[in-house]
Structure 1
Amino acid sequence: MIRNPILPGFNPDPSFLRVGDDYYIATSTFEWYPGVQIFHSKDLVNWDLVARPLNRAALLDMRGNPDSCGVWAPCLSHDGDKFYLVYTDVKRFNGKFKDAHNYITACDTIDGDWCDPWYVNSSGFDPSLFHDADGKKYFMNMQWNHRGAGTGGNPKHSSFDGILMQEWSPEHGLTGPVTNVYPGTPHGLTEAPHVFKRNEYYYMTTAEGGTGYGHAVSLARSKSIWGPYEDHPDLHVVTTKDTPLTTSPIQRTGHGQYVETPEGEIYHTFLMGRPIQKRGSGQFFCPMGRETGIERGVWKDDWLYLETGGLVPRAELTGLKDVVSRVPKKRETQFKGTELPSDFQWLRHPHPERLFRVDNGLHVIGRESFGSWFENALVARRQEHFVFEVQTEVSFEPDTYQQAAGLTHYYNRHKFHKLLVCYEPDIGRCLRVVSCLGDFADNELTWHGDAVAIPDGPVQMRANVDHADLQFSWRMNDSDWTPIGGTLDATLISDEAGFGEHGSFTGGFVGMYAMDITGQGREALFSHFSYTPHP
């Protein structure tokens, strides 16, 4: 069976594509580098990461981008000859303006070197590209209206000003008139257009209702690609906006794309959240952020519906034969060779040699402070489970309080917990636990407990996350683990914390960090990193 999410952990805005017998899904990466994750599957059950195409400065440079900016909503397509990838690099988040720049890159193979990009426009975000049967290509994006009332954390309908369309070609770029082809349904916040053609109709799916619990996949159709588009009888194909959190493990569904299998089966991807409740409270939170799910559909009267009826997707899809789903296993990384394993990413920077290198361990080069949008030396992997354990070992010898390195549970510059090897003048080398608890006053910090003096030598660090609870521990020379910092609130590492569901678009990460604000680049050596999921 297929179990949702099919791409666990932070993997939102799934663009879905079939080429022959191969299926691909491209997802947003926001401020994480390299940009865009592309997954491959033969059976729609088991998916493998095969490419992160935006991997050099010519394609993507996000230094200075605010949190939850960067790469929004890619669209992956194929015109029978090449793969095309459309993406946005968003440079501003709060306020009236967005500064969203749209690009297209192409490649003969999914895992090859993608070409330097064509710049397309900056009129809005969530672009896509449709290849029609006559060879023409059509570029679409939502139009952002800065005269509306939209802000980064609280978008308003008046800022979402319809779906623009224009012809595009690699040789000539955008040509012909810019046409606003679809205003959206009354649900509003219309974005993420994807067009496909079936029989005599062009169909346009859009994401509506924002990125939170009111999200939805909407559908409209027209006999001309230019419209006018007629709304679906139910307006939406997928949504959980009217489904209580206590009755469905899947929430926040929206933003996906349609694919038909060679056998004629219908599937539609969607982003989703898995909210869990903090014990003893009514608070729900999604530590993995927005993940990717999939559902089967059926056609009736030339309209697409979910196979089971209604609008709420299933957690499990039965009916597949001879397909075995992989069991999650411990991931142990020793950092051999010179390449960073594909589990890991870093923040914003197109020149990773400034931040780290792999050479008999992971050498993280201390750079700017916790909240930097330019050179933040953090190498991390996604949280994919509600209960898990990570371990690492760090060798680091600071000689000033301006240097620190260690293990972090991280969402963004306003939402993190860190266990650090640092330095206090009256103590020397020591351990400290620090958090930023969703504060917005210039990265306000909270220190947990007193500094713990430690002798020279490598320090083993551990983080245990159990739903809403995080506990750091440490030891040296394989002695017994010693807890440090108390039980911390892991609900902080979620979309709902801080700016909230419309202001936080990524998900939880765990990783290795170094800071040296003296500017001398003091290095921390991490010998290994393990991630162990628990039921």
Structure 2
Amino acid sequence: MTATRTGVRLAHNPVLPGFHPDPSMIRVNGEFVVATSTFQWFPGVTLHRSTDLVTWEPLPHPLTRRAQLDLRGVPDSGGVWAPGLSYVDGVFHLVYTNMLGYNVDGFYDSPNFHVQATSPHGPWTDPAPLHARGFDPSMFHHEGRSWLLSMQWDHRPGRQRFSGILLQEFDRDTRTLRGDAEVIFTGTELGLTEGPHLLHHDGWFYLVVAEGGTSWQHAVTVARSRALTGPYEPDPAGPMLTSAGHEGLELRKAGHGSLVRDERDRWFLAHLAARPVDAAGHCVLGRETAIQRVEWVDGWPRVAGGVPATSVVVPDDYPEQPAMTFDEQWQTVRRAPDPSWLSRSERLGAVRLRADQSPASRHDVSLFARRQRSFTDELAVVVEAEPVHFQQMAGLIHYYDSALWHWLQLTHDERVGRCLTVLSCDHGTLVDPLAGAVIPWPHDGPVRMRATVDGTELRFAAARLDGSWQPVGPLLDTRLLSDEYAARTAVAGSTGTAVEGFTGAFLGVCATDLTGRRMVCDVLDAL
């Protein structure tokens, strides 16, 4: 006789802390699998699995080859936008945008692609090209047929940029689109309608979309229709979920959700949210993934109160996901790791970097990093490099994008030789927190380096292998590495260029050599 479980099991939000936005969640063979955006970070798309919605295990990234994802030169917060994960007839399908360029008053170059695999562990196929009409693709499978959805971008001056949700049939055998694309929903008064997901339930087609823009007015809207192509009528009760107008909530920016149900017809919503680090609303951790319980009321899926909860009761009959040591999921920026610049085997017990372009580059940066996942975080490594010129530098970096970072460097100065210094980048402008000073570091061999984050403050420190830590530079402001600080609009004549922040803070190691000598930097304690 099987004992009945009666304990209460809670999932604490965000279930995927740190930069994990735009979740697309499915349930297959008793497991939840969720895909999230990676933007300019490589490999592309993060996948996590869970049996109980409480503990989540990272899965291998699907897009691991340059043939699947070419990120060189993409703008900050370009690259992989809002992947859509689905499953049908034994096959996992993944569609994604590789955003190559975007301008608020012009074109969005947003080619979309499809890959597939028979297991979420891969291997995933080479990509099949789809369309570039808009971004945020997803797939819908129903009665043996499949469709691709996305938002549609209208570049024409004077038009509504977010011009509706597109639907077009997809042939799974040939992995091609067929027929014409059709606008099935133009959104509500919240505007900025994007992030579509479609499902069928009790004779209705339900369209779940993100609205209000991916910031403080963000929301999840649900509309339904008896026919696949519409017309779709939105829930008269308003957004299914939003944080707008609820300034006291811990989880803000709630929106961009996907619905999933289990075998006992229990429903959940995966959505993005953000946690400000200060009263001014700076979200250094970026947009994170949370889940909510969903109940059906009068034929509509509803979240209690329409606001995100920080703790959610989940079924206690789910098998527990075993606890695990967290996999840091180190990533690189814009370039695939290969032995020409990154090696885990060339020196035993070390990651070897060959220094390349600066962290301000959008091409060949020798940088690997992992997400900052909490308001307090720390990364300590041992770095070995021998810079002989001021244009050679290596060390710990707190990185948001090519225009926003703090960098503790082991470098060279003509006055003292080998030394330590700090360099910051504020919207592309280099800042010297030490006001021209450097810390002589004549000691041969490796340097211990440490970055400690505490809320809005970052402290760098260094030490010899047999010595104690000493601070390097003043306390630095982590709020520079937030979506809010990154977002701005630069106006040149009559053209406005959207420069927005969609990622989050990373901690890692960067090595730069502008002399052409490709200085070697060994990281002895990181992976």
Letter in 2 for 1:21: G
Match of residue 206 from structure 1: 209
- Summarize the alignment of residues 237-316 of structure 1 with structure 2, pairs less than 5 Å apart: 237-244=240-247, 247-277=248-278, 282-306=279-303, 308=304, 310-316=305-311
1:426 aligns with 2:427: no
Match of residue 491 from structure 2: none
1:218 to 221, 225, 243: 221
Question: Is the partner of 2:309 in helix, strand or coil?
Answer: coil
Unaligned 5+ runs, structure 1: 150-156, 332-340, 531-535
Match of residue 337 from structure 1: none
Question: Is the partner of 2:160 in helix, strand or coil?
Answer: helix
Letter in 1 for 2:202: N
1:367 touches 1:521 (CA, 8 Å); kept in 2? Answer: yes
1:355 touches 1:376 (CA, 8 Å); kept in 2? Answer: no
CA distance in 1, matches of 2:206, 2:314: 27
How many Å apart are 1:353 and its aligned residue?
Answer: 2.7
Question: Is the partner of 2:130 in helix, strand or coil?
Answer: strand
Question: Is the partner of 1:528 in helix, strand or coil?
Answer: coil
Question: Is the partner of 1:175 in helix, strand or coil?
Answer: strand
Deviations 1:246-284 (A, max 9, x none): x2101000011001111221101100001121xxxx522
Match of residue 467 from structure 1: 455
Letter in 1 for 2:478: A
Question: Is the partner of 1:497 in helix, strand or coil?
Answer: helix
CA distance in 2, matches of 1:146, 1:174: 22
CA distance in 2, matches of 1:172, 1:363: 40
1:454 aligns with 2:449: no
Letter in 2 for 1:353: P
TM-score (norm 2): 0.92
* 341-350 vs 180-189, which moves further: 341-350
Match of residue 403 from structure 2: 414
1:28 to 37, 54, 57: 37
Letter in 2 for 1:511: G
How many Å apart are 1:354 and its aligned residue?
Answer: 3.2
1:162 to 155, 159, 164: 164
CA distance in 1, matches of 2:486, 2:95: 30
1:344 to 330, 341, 345: 330
Relative to 1, partners in 2 of residues 1:476 and 1:132: Cα closer, same or farther, differing over 3 Å?
A: same
Letter in 1 for 2:508: G
1:317 aligns with 2:312: yes
Relative to 1, partners in 2 of residues 1:368 and 1:145: Cα closer, same or farther, differing over 3 Å?
A: same
How many Å apart are 1:351 and its aligned residue?
Answer: 4.8
How many Å apart are 1:97 and its aligned residue?
Answer: 1.3
- Summarize the alignment of residues 13-162 of structure 1 with structure 2, pairs less than 5 Å apart: 13-95=22-104, 96-133=106-143, 135-148=144-157, 158-162=160-164
TM-score (norm 1): 0.90
2:393 touches 2:412 (CA, 8 Å); kept in 1? Answer: yes
Question: Is the partner of 1:352 in helix, strand or coil?
Answer: coil
Letter in 1 for 2:260: V
CA distance in 1, matches of 2:284, 2:357: 26
CA distance in 1, matches of 2:363, 2:515: 16
* 1-10 vs 474-483, which moves further: 474-483
Match of residue 477 from structure 2: 489
Deviations 1:202-245 (A, max 9, x none): 0010011111111001110011111110111123111001111x
CA distance in 2, matches of 1:328, 1:248: 30
What is the total number of aligned residue pairs between the two structures?
501
Letter in 2 for 1:289: G
Match of residue 525 from structure 1: 522
- Summarize the alignment of residues 351-362 of structure 1 with structure 2, pairs less than 5 Å apart: 351-359=337-345, 360=348, 361-362=350-351
CA distance in 1, matches of 2:354, 2:164: 45
Match of residue 195 from structure 1: 198
CA distance in 1, matches of 2:209, 2:432: 41
1:212 touches 1:502 (CA, 8 Å); kept in 2? Answer: no
1:10 touches 1:289 (CA, 8 Å); kept in 2? Answer: yes
Deviations 1:81-127 (A, max 9, x none): 21000000000033511100000011111112111111000011001
CA distance in 1, matches of 2:321, 2:283: 24
Unaligned 5+ runs, structure 2: 1-9, 489-497
CA distance in 1, matches of 2:339, 2:502: 27
Letter in 1 for 2:186: P
Deviations 1:64-96 (A, max 9, x none): 101100000000001122100000000003351
Letter in 1 for 2:523: F
CA distance in 1, matches of 2:154, 2:438: 50
Letter in 2 for 1:518: T
CA distance in 1, matches of 2:445, 2:183: 63
CA distance in 1, matches of 2:292, 2:410: 46
Match of residue 3 from structure 2: none
Question: Is the partner of 2:339 in helix, strand or coil?
Answer: helix
1:345 touches 1:380 (CA, 8 Å); kept in 2? Answer: yes
Relative to 1, partners in 2 of residues 1:368 and 1:114: Cα closer, same or farther, differing over 3 Å?
A: same
CA distance in 2, matches of 1:258, 1:502: 30
Match of residue 2 from structure 1: 11
How many Å apart are 1:301 and its aligned residue?
Answer: 1.6
Question: Is the partner of 1:25 in helix, strand or coil?
Answer: strand
1:211 touches 1:502 (CA, 8 Å); kept in 2? Answer: no
Question: Is the partner of 1:234 in helix, strand or coil?
Answer: coil
Match of residue 387 from structure 1: 376
1:480 aligns with 2:468: yes
Letter in 2 for 1:371: A
How many Å apart are 1:445 and its aligned residue?
Answer: 3.5
1:103 touches 1:118 (CA, 8 Å); kept in 2? Answer: yes
CA distance in 1, matches of 2:153, 2:340: 35
Relative to 1, partners in 2 of residues 1:464 and 1:342: Cα closer, same or farther, differing over 3 Å?
A: closer
2:55 touches 2:323 (CA, 8 Å); kept in 1? Answer: no
1:365 aligns with 2:363: no
How many Å apart are 1:502 and its aligned residue?
Answer: 7.6
Letter in 1 for 2:477: D
1:229 to 222, 232, 237: 232
How many Å apart are 1:327 and its aligned residue?
Answer: 8.1
Relative to 1, partners in 2 of residues 1:194 and 1:459: Cα closer, same or farther, differing over 3 Å?
A: same
Letter in 2 for 1:232: D
Match of residue 6 from structure 2: none
Match of residue 335 from structure 1: none
CA distance in 2, matches of 1:504, 1:214: 16
CA distance in 1, matches of 2:307, 2:239: 10
Deviations 1:272-327 (A, max 9, x none): 001121xxxx5221111000000001111211111x3x210110113543777888
Deviations 1:339-371 (A, max 9, x none): xx7620001113533331113201111011221
Letter in 2 for 1:474: A
Relative to 1, partners in 2 of residues 1:328 and 1:494: Cα closer, same or farther, differing over 3 Å?
A: farther
CA RMSD of aligned residues (A): 1.9
Q: Give the share of equivalent positions with the same residue, in percent.
A: 37
1:178 aligns with 2:181: yes
